């Protein structure tokens, strides 16, 4: 059997992952459509089912953390720095995510915007 670089890399990643993480068993019932998709991914990636499911869970959890952080930030329930922490991203990575998803998180009343603008203009002309 001939292995590609991708196969070897995926296998190495799996080995390192298992060595670094304590793996706990998880039983879950899934729809047959999801099982079919997982089987297709297994065939495509040439990796065992458990590794594929772990990878998909990690991707899903990462997306959940990002979306939760964005939602909390947009609702004004957490600071920008705390949202980046919830998302497990650096401040710069989180700033890029906020920009990519067009999240509005700074809320100022029109009077506040006018006041800020006036103060900034006054400071500029001094």
Q: What is the pLDDT of residues 37-85, one digit of tens each?
A: 999 999 999 999 999 999 999 999 999 999 999 999 999 899 999 999 9
Answer whether 66's CB lies under 8 Å from 87's CB: yes
pLDDT bracket for residue 8 (50, 70, 90): low
Query: pLDDT above 70 covers what percent of the chain?
Result: 79
Instruction: Report how far residue 81's alpha carbon sits from residue 85's, in angstroms, rounded to the nearest whole number.
Output: 6
Whole-number pLDDT of residue 119: 75
The pLDDT tens digits for 36-45 are 999 999 999 9
**Residue 3 domain flag:** no
At 89 the three-state DSSP class reads coil
- Give residue 4's pLDDT band: very low, low, confident or very high (50, 70, 90): confident
pLDDT at 67: 97
1 part of a folded domain:
no
The answer to whether the beta carbons of residues 7 and 46 sit under 8 Å apart is yes
In a domain, residue 45? The reply is yes
Name the domain count of the chain.
1
- Spatial neighbors of 47 by CB under 8 A, at least 6 apart, are 10, 11, 14
The verdict on residue 51 lying in a domain is yes
Structure confidence at residue 101 (pLDDT): 95
Asked whether residue 4 is domain-assigned, the answer is no
pLDDT band at residue 105 using 50, 70 and 90 as cut-offs? confident
pLDDT at 114 over 90: no
- Rounded CA separation 103/16 (Å): 36
Note whether residue 117 is domain-resident.
yes
* Pairwise CA distance, residues 41 & 64, whole Å: 21
Is residue 1 over pLDDT 60?
Answer: no
* Domain that includes residue 115, residue range: 10-21+31-124
Q: CB neighbours of 29 closer than 8 A, spacing ≥ 6?
A: none
Domain annotation covers residue 63 = yes
Q: Which two tokens stand for residue 117?
A: 């603008």
**Residues shown for the chain:** 126
């Amino acid at each position: 059997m001939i292995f590609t670089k991708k196969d070897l890399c995926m296998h190495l990643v799996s080995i390192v992952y298992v060595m670094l993480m304590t793996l706990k068993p998880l039983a879950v019932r899934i729809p047959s459509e999801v099982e079919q998709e997982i089987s297709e991914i297994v065939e495509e990636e040439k990796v065992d089912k458990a590794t594929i499911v772990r990878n998909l869970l990690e991707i899903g959890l990462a997306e959940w953390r990002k979306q939760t952080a964005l939602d909390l930030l947009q609702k004004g329930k957490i600071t920008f720095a705390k949202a980046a922490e919830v998302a497990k991203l650096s401040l710069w990575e989180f700033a890029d995510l906020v920009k990519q998803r067009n999240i509005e998180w700074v809320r100022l009343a029109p009077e506040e915007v006018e006041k800020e603008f006036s103060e900034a203009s006054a400071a500029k002309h001094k």
